[in-house]
């Protein structure tokens, strides 16, 4: 079992661009949550997907959107990138409301 | 919104010492998680608990729901335990609320 995987590992973009991050959940998991972790801070909840629907959303603007596919994998899209969007983006998967398992993260740098 | 406070923020100890990290939260929860994050970003789930006490190897986690407080203990600490330890909670709505994280405790175990 590969566990939770994320791609890419690192990404550099410029302000105003758009980015798509990808997450494959652990085998048997059906729920994917996304978190943003700024340098030196704890992660912040962005949103959660279950049964291909956004189930809950944290305090993030509409520039942040996502999708879950029938195979439970998920994408996080960020439009009109700002310098402040530079962070580590973490994906976590679980089977419904059980323990979450985290991926290695994607480090996004916005120049 | 739940406020999650951890103490201490930084902790340096000698190998073999007994380590305690504390977490308090402001609003009732459905579950509390202890996570470990190493340099580079990867997060590992250590415990998920909603009552009582759990033990895994040299790690012990306890929670007091009435006092809204949890502790993570490390017995016979080792330099490989050096990491950031993060407390995170699920609100009363369960996993759909996403995790609310503390800022983490930076632990360094010196040989």
Nearest CA in chain B to A88: B41
Q: What is the pLDDT along chain A (111 residues), one digit of tens a residue?
A: 679 999 999 999 999 999 999 999 999 999 999 999 998 888 999 999 999 999 888 889 999 999 999 999 999 999 999 999 999 999 999 998 788 899 999 999 999
Give A90's Cβ-side CA count (13 Å radius): 25
CB pairs under 8 A between A and B: 73
- Look at B42 and A102 and tell me if their CB atoms are within 8 Å: yes
Model confidence at B99, pLDDT cuts 50, 70, 90, reads: confident
- Look at B48 and A99 and tell me if their CB atoms are within 8 Å: yes
pLDDT of the residue at A2: 75
Shortest distance between the Cα of A14 and any Cα of chain B, in A, equals: 23
Burial class (CB in 10 A: 0-12, 13-18, 19+), B92: exposed
Nearest CA in chain A to B103: A42
CA distances from A17 to A63, A65, A89 (A): 11, 14, 17
Q: Per residue in B37-48, pLDDT tens? A: 988 778 899 999
d(CA A67, CA A93): 14
pLDDT at B22 over 90: yes
Model confidence at B96, pLDDT cuts 50, 70, 90, reads: low
């Amino acid at each position: 079992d590969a566990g939770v995987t994320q791609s890419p590992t690192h990404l550099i973009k410029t302000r105003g661009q758009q980015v798509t991050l990808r997450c494959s959940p652990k085998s048997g998991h059906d729920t994917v949550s996304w978190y943003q972790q700024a340098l030196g801070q704890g992660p912040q909840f962005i949103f959660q997907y279950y049964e291909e629907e956004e189930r809950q959303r944290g305090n993030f603007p509409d520039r942040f959107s996502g999708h879950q596919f029938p195979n439970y994998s998920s994408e996080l899209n960020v439009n009109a990138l700002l310098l402040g969007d530079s962070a580590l983006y973490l994906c976590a998967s679980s089977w419904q409301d059980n323990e979450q398992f985290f991926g290695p993260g994607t480090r996004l740098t916005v120049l | 919104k739940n406020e999650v406070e951890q103490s201490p923020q930084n902790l340096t100890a000698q190998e073999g010492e007994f380590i305690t990290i504390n977490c308090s939260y402001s609003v009732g929860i459905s579950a509390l998680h202890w996570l470990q994050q190493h340099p580079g970003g990867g997060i590992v789930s250590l415990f998920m608990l909603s009552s009582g006490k759990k033990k895994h190897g040299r790690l012990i986690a306890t929670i007091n729901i009435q006092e809204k407080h949890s502790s993570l203990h490390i017995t016979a600490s080792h330099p490989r335990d050096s990491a950031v330890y993060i407390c995170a909670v699920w609100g009363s709505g369960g996993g759909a609320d996403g995790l609310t994280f503390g800022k983490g405790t930076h632990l360094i175990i010196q040989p």
